[in-house]
Amino acid sequence: MSHVSQSLTPTRGRLMAVLITVAAAVVLLLSIQGSTARGEIQGTCEGGKFCVFTGAFYTGEELNFGCSAKFRYTGELYSAKNHCSVNVRIGWTEGGSTNWKACMGPGGERPEPGRFNTTEPNGC
């Protein structure tokens, strides 16, 4: 006659612990993949583009524009890279006037110029 050991029989508590552990591992794996995907998107700032970021030090959402595009963003931007062959200036526009923050030459990078929402190629 065979006896099943109590330590080998899964209990409801052990089963729940295993399920929670597996679920946590899946969530961790998906968050790592999500971070990698965002890094690849942010890594697309290449030659012929002016790239702005919603976070300082090139973090957050990345938006890429052509080198001749003048734009005004409805939110706040906090860092930029100029991979164009022209100067681009960045500034904060509010109430019809613009406070220009920086002039970025070709290859210029501003990891933390303060908030801005407007760019203008050949503006400086």
pLDDT in single tens digits along all 124 residues of the chain: 555 555 555 677 776 666 666 555 544 444 433 333 333 344 578 888 999 999 999 999 999 988 998 889 999 999 999 999 999 999 999 998 999 999 999 999 999 999 999 999 998 8
| Gyration radius (Cα) of the chain, Å | 25
User: Do 70 and 98 sit in the same domain of this protein?
Assistant: yes
User: Do 51 and 97 sit in the same domain of this protein?
Assistant: yes
User: Do 34 and 72 sit in the same domain of this protein?
Assistant: no
Nearest CA to 109 among 60, 65, 45, 63? 45
pTM: 0.63
Domain tally, the chain: 2
User: Do 106 and 90 sit in the same domain of this protein?
Assistant: yes
